[in-house]
Amino acid sequence: MSSSPDCSVCFDRFQLDLRTGELRKGDARINLPEQPFQLLKALVDRPGDLVTREELRQRLWPAETFVDFERGLNAAVRRLREALGDSASRPRFVETLPRRGYRFIAPVVGPSANESLAPPAPVLENEREAFEGPARIASSTPRRIRVPLFTATSILAAVLVLGAFGYLLWRLDNSPSTRSSTRFMLAVLPFENLTGDPDQEYISDGMTEELIAQLGGMDPSRLGVIARQSAMQFKKTTKRAAQIGSDLGVSHLLAGSVRSAGSRIRIAVQLIDTERESQLWAEQYERDALDLLALQREVAESITRQMTTSLGIERSIVHADARRHSTSAEAYEHYLRGRHHLWQRDTAEGFEKAREHFQRAIDLDASYAHAFSGLSDTYARLGSVGLLPMREAYQLARAAALKGIALDGMLAEAHTSLAFILADYDWDWDTADRHFRRAVELNPNYETALRTYSSYLAWWGRDKEALEFAARARDLNPVSPNAWHNLGVVHYFARRYEEAIMHFREALDLDPTYGGAHVMLGRTYVAKGLPDRAVEELERAKGLMGARPDVITPMAYVLARAGRRREALATLDELRRIAKPRDPSPIRIAYVNIGLGDTERAFEWLQKAVEARDWQMGMLNVEPAFDVLRSDQRFAALVERVGLPR
């Protein structure tokens, strides 16, 4: 280290030179731009203490500097965490105190106490070797699997850590008695398709999805599984295992690939310790291509045994048969293709192909519950985007979901699909609640159920539960902008606007093109009485998303609230012009008229929304824009017709 000791501070394995602004980890220099450096300097000056956002504003941006402070600070925090390999959801260094500021939680050692630093944790011999998949990490251990692997299949993850001291205790104590009371987290990264045929991507994607579901049902009280959407962020990654572990809050990776040779399919997997970047276990499986289902089951069962042996996790009886698939290999293949098109291709063509594949799977095996669940999701999606009339789409979706439950009442996906329909279209809140709870009971690691349920809990005014489920979904999907956006929405409905803004900014940090976060920032700012800032956010949303009803509607509303009535009326006309048979929904027109101050017309359109069973009527009790109508008896009558609690 070239810097003099009297201008450096040390924490963990890092050394920060306060004079030159250099950050080092061992012998490696880490690039740290000026703003993240100043932020880190401010935090380590007062380790363990809250440093408020206002203090950081004054320190990082002088009074004469004009900058979007919130965006700038969030970006600086994100870049600092990336440099440190830290995680917002499970911090080791920088902790967020919502609405207040940040705190540095790792021990900081001054120059006179450098010798008292604990020795660094073991690392790979070659620190510069980038993580390019399981094979690269495995090269640091005696046992190797010589199959090129460039991305991962699944991640078995970290001990639930309560601060750095608890984390240290976990590292020092690996006894079975200690492990038996520990809850691990697992993330299943996407299998690498090494077949050379892009059309075979459904096999690798299907294996990834299936392992997430299989492992998620093993022992939910002790094993949490990272959701597919977060895992997919690491497809073809070049990040080291330790960095992935930090990003996702996990301690192990279960990595794999799919190859084909003639009529044979070969799957290679290995279990990796992210902290030590070492291989714990590896295996290869090979079968005839016609035995894909048997191969998938063999891999899943083998991995399950390894989890039981290595980490002391037991297979739950409740969840043991929750992923029964068709005995028809062809039906299973169509199911995988359907899921691939449904999740990967968010287009009319993709939805139609998904429907065709799910229907073909059902034609081949009429008892295939998973295929009915997939078909239900597809019809619901077709209706929600206007590719099928809403009434027709939801009736078909309901029938498929009910059939899936009748065939396999232990299938969390089918219960979630039905709950969505019961809430969105039927307004049967109690029955929807029961099915959501049943889905979460069957698979507490099913992120889609947790996230969707949290939204409806927020609609129903059950803020504490909504925030709990939204946070659980975020923890299972930590690098997904959807998860952070949903957490922001729940805070918005709870009128916790500062926290909502923070979470929407987190979503944008993960994906700057995520227009929905700008929409919700606009709605939040106008609820805070800042319509001009709201207009700015909605203009950004329109630039990213185009002139869609879900952008144009709040734009017209906030223009009206900003006193720009002529522009608001022109935007309302634009909304009518772009309308499709299903959209703009009546509630959208009511929303704009509230902004324009036309209460009578707003109630007229809300009545139409009830008659059309507009799905957004579920937000009546919690949407801040409706506050001006709540004292009117007509509003209470609307709430009663929708069946919401008052």
CA pair distance 397, 365, nearest whole angstrom: 19
Does the domain at residues 134-316 carry the CATH identifier 3.40.50.10070?
yes
CB 196 within 8 A of CB 422: no
Cβ pair 211, 301 in contact under 8 A: no
Position 490 scores a pLDDT of 96
Mean pLDDT of 86-105: 82
Residue 526 has pLDDT above 90, yes or no: yes
Query: CA-to-CA distance for 259 and 23, rounded, in angstroms?
Result: 42
Of 377 and 216, which is predicted with more confidence? 377
Identify the residue with better confidence: 228 or 143.
228
Residue 271 confidence (pLDDT) above 90: no
Instruction: For the chain, state the CA radius of gyration.
Output: 26
% of the chain surpassing 70 pLDDT: 77
pLDDT digits (tens, 9 = 90+) for 546-558: 888 889 999 999 9
| Ranges of H-type helices in 61-133 | 69-84
pLDDT band at residue 440 under the 50/70/90 scheme: very high
pLDDT for position 110: 67
> Which one is predicted more confidently, 599 or 76?
599
Q: Quote the tokens at residue 506.
A: 């987190």
| 301 three-state secondary structure | helix
- Look at residue 391 in the predicted model and tell me its pLDDT: 79
Answer whether residue 622 shows pLDDT above 90. yes
| Lowest mean pLDDT across 21-25, 347-351, 553-557, 623-627 | 347-351
- Min mean pLDDT across 161-165, 237-241, 484-488, 616-620 is at 161-165
In angstroms, the CA 190 to CA 229 distance is: 10
Residue 128 has pLDDT above 90, yes or no: no
pLDDT at 527 over 80: yes
pLDDT score recorded for residue 458: 95
The superfamily in CATH containing domain 321-441 is: Tetratricopeptide repeat domain (1.25.40.10)
Q: What is the pLDDT of residue 455?
A: 93
Task: Measure the N-to-C terminal CA separation of the chain; round to a whole number of Å.
Answer: 65
Using the structure block, give the residue that is written with the tokens 């691939």.
340
Q: Collapsing DSSP states into helix, strand and coil, what is residue 446?
A: coil
Per-residue confidence band for 291, with pLDDT thresholds at 50, 70 and 90: low
The one-letter amino acid at 292: L
pLDDT over 90 at 361, yes or no:
yes
Q: How confident is the model at residue 309 (pLDDT cuts 50, 70, 90)?
A: low
CA angle, 320 then 324 then 326, to 5°: 165
Rounded mean pLDDT of 126-150? 33
Pick from 514, 515, 507: nearest CA to 490 = 507
| pLDDT of residue 453 exceeding 90 | yes
Report pLDDT for 2: 42
Mean pLDDT on 13-17: 87
Peptide bond into 586 cis (omega under 30): no
Domain 321-441 matches domain 444-512 at the CATH topology level = yes
**Percent residues over pLDDT 90 in the chain:** 34
Q: Bigger pLDDT: 315 or 553?
A: 553
Give the residue extent of every domain in the chain. 5-116, 134-316, 321-441, 444-512
Rounded mean pLDDT of 407-411?
92
Locate tokens 């001990």: which residue?
159
According to CATH, the superfamily of the domain at 444-512 is Tetratricopeptide repeat domain (1.25.40.10)
**Residue 321 pLDDT class (50, 70, 90 cuts):** very low
Q: Which residue has the higher pLDDT, 6 or 79?
A: 79
Query: Is residue 641 predicted with pLDDT exceeding 70?
Result: yes
The per-residue pLDDT for range 455-471, each reduced to its tens digit, is: 999 999 999 999 999 99
pLDDT at 162: 24
Q: Can you give the three-state secondary structure of 156-225, one letter per residue?
A: CCCCCCCHHHHHHHHHHCCCHHHHCCCCEEEECCCCEECCCCHHHHHHHHHHHHHHHHHHHCCCCCCEEE
- Which residues fall within 8 angstroms of residue 265, CB to CB, at 6 or more apart? 203, 258, 259, 286, 287, 288, 289, 292, 295
Amino acid letter for position 211: L
Q: Does the pTM of the predicted model rise above 0.75?
A: no
Amino acid letter for position 53: R
Check whether domain 5-116 has CATH 3.90.870.40, yes or no: no
pLDDT at 89: 66
- How large is the average pLDDT for residues 371-394? 83
pLDDT at 58 exceeding the cut of 90 = no
pLDDT tier for residue 239 given thresholds of 50, 70 and 90: confident
Q: What tokens appear for 62 in the block?
A: 């002088």
Are the C-beta atoms of 480 and 510 separated by less than 8 Å?
yes
If you average pLDDT over every residue of the chain, what do you get? 78
Least confident of 115-119, 292-296, 529-533: 115-119
Q: Report d(CA 297, CA 370) in Å as an integer.
A: 15
Tokens 């029964």, residue located: 324
Stretch 208-232: mean pLDDT, rounded?
Answer: 74
Q: Give the per-residue pLDDT at 559.
A: 97
Q: Rounded CA gap, 171 and 413, in Å?
A: 36
pLDDT score, position 581: 54
Q: 11-20, 188-197, 382-391 — which is least confidently predicted?
A: 382-391
Cβ proximity of 216 and 234 under 8 Å: no
Res. 314 pLDDT band, cuts 50 70 90: low
| Confidence at residue 344, expressed as pLDDT on a 0 to 100 scale | 58
Q: Does pLDDT of 488 surpass 90?
A: yes
